[in-house]
Structure 1
């Protein structure tokens, strides 16, 4: 069941899989996208902002404003961030889409988030598809905004495995201190789509052809960015099925359209911000061995058929 008229903000580091999520949310999803805020992550801030504007223009939604956020981590890292095996393979510095006729707004993402959340009379959902730098900065500068957010839906983390290191997923590893701040900030509901769930819902070239056959601007743009993404994922992080890839960020939007797409459990989650081997690891207390109360709804698996339906439905218009 689609949650109609739900107001959301997309916090993105666009990137090819973020681009798919943007198209889904701004399409026939039943969601009201108030804005996109951008941050450094898959690419430098200037590129994530330009790619976000390109995607919105390509899908016929240049009316959605874009606010550029932070181009550096929330806090200094104890260990340097070095490019991984997938650097430059899965995320295009310039998406294969026409340049936007618009530019980012002059207000910073942090200032806009604080002002908007302070002024709102309706709950707003944050869909965080990137390192949590912007969200941590806004919540630290203005802790009262936490109460204006009914749910923060995060793509990040992993219980069984990592993808940036053996222990850590990329979005969390890129800014672990920001992630820990967000997990402990007291949001009404924190829902996480980790690698455990996103690796259950892969997209392959047959699915790309189904998307392309829809014939809409959104479908054409998504097919274009997925061609490169799947090829890069196949080269750097091959799945069991060749020429396929988990489109991680898309699962967050799929969940908002159909909450039953993912199996959630309420658990205590913390982030390692000091260790060397486990830096950026999300520790998920599945057996309740610690003293911390559950703070996160964690996705342990996801349904491929439901995911595919939401992708196609959102891109039909």
Structure 2
């Protein structure tokens, strides 16, 4: 049975793979893409989303959303300082031809509200793989969405470590107030894929060779993006630059292959919004005596072979 989804994203390289796979997999129907400030500024996340959809010939509407976090004027550490030592890892513009298809009129936040208030969309999964600003703004403007969104899959957080600070993963760190608001909203079915899961299922140079052998636009485009990720992956010694996680695409794969993730538990999940050293950190509490509501499932592991099978199925004509 086909699963319908919306991807809310900050399109850099891993978001691009997620978009292409969602647009092309025979078991998925990509309803729309909504963009948010994150990996790169909003104008670039929107253009990149349009570029990858044009690249694979997918007629999917793209709506631009929030250009900044909901409370803060910028990242906790501004982007130009944060990326100062590794500016090429997240390129402003992905290496695809400029988009031919225009962005849709209207704001992504209003699009999400209108979509989920429509009973015809009661089955549409929301896959949020960037900062949660758009989702938080939609919930704040229309609280009924907490009951209307049937399922939310989030790429964000980590358990006890981070990739932007010692404590925090990038998406939650960029807009911690948004992440906390979304997780506290009462959405009934929330699955979080933190860094723990996405790092457990990296793609390799051998996987890129296999994608190149398929030869379709989605396969070769994904190979190019993953090779770039491997070559620029932060903190990896040159001798170990053989694999890289493709975080956001795993959140799409789980819709087709639930068994791609494992070690999944129910947790009371919150995001730190005030800590000097822990800002953006995800707290996943499974203490048996805690009275805090368990508001999300968290996957702590994943299978790279199943993930690669998903991509192969998506990109094979």
Matched, 1:26 2:23: yes
Q: Which stretch shows the higher mean deviation, 115-124 or 65-74?
A: 115-124
Match of 1:51 among 48, 73, 77: 48
TM-score, normalised with respect to structure 1:
0.94
Aligned equivalent of 1:114: 113
- Name the SS of the counterpart of 2:110 in structure 1: helix
Q: How many residues align?
A: 312
Q: Which stretch shows the higher mean deviation, 268-277 or 215-224?
A: 215-224
Matched, 1:176 2:171: no
8 Å Cα contact 1:43/1:93 also seen in 2: yes
- Name the SS of the counterpart of 1:172 in structure 2: helix
Aligned equivalent of 1:165: 165
Aligned equivalent of 2:61: 65
**What RMSD over aligned residues (CA atoms) do the two structures have, in Å?**
1.8
User: Distance between the aligned counterparts of 2:74 and 2:286, measured in 1?
Assistant: 28
Q: CA deviation at 1:179?
A: 0.2
Matched, 1:17 2:14: yes
Aligned equivalent of 2:294: 294
Q: Which stretch shows the higher mean deviation, 140-149 or 161-170?
A: 140-149
Name the CA shift for 1:67/1:192 in 2 (closer, same or farther; >3 Å): same
Structure 2 spans left out of the alignment, 5+ residues: none
TM-score, normalised with respect to structure 2:
0.94
Matched, 1:282 2:307: no
8 Å Cα contact 2:6/2:32 also seen in 1: yes
Structure 1 spans left out of the alignment, 5+ residues: none
User: Distance between the aligned counterparts of 2:89 and 2:235, measured in 1?
Assistant: 8
**1:19-66 Cα distance to aligned partner (Å, 9 max, x none):** 0111111112411111000000000000000000000000110x1000
8 Å Cα contact 1:195/1:248 also seen in 2: yes
8 Å Cα contact 2:231/2:241 also seen in 1: no
User: Distance between the aligned counterparts of 2:305 and 2:26, measured in 1?
Assistant: 17
8 Å Cα contact 1:127/1:152 also seen in 2: yes
Match of 2:78 among 78, 82, 88: 82
Name the CA shift for 1:219/1:305 in 2 (closer, same or farther; >3 Å): same
User: Distance between the aligned counterparts of 1:97 and 1:283, measured in 2?
Assistant: 38
**1:111-166 Cα distance to aligned partner (Å, 9 max, x none):** 11111111232322100010000000001100112222111000000003110100
Aligned equivalent of 1:258: 257
User: Distance between the aligned counterparts of 2:97 and 2:10, measured in 1?
Assistant: 18
Matched, 1:35 2:29: no
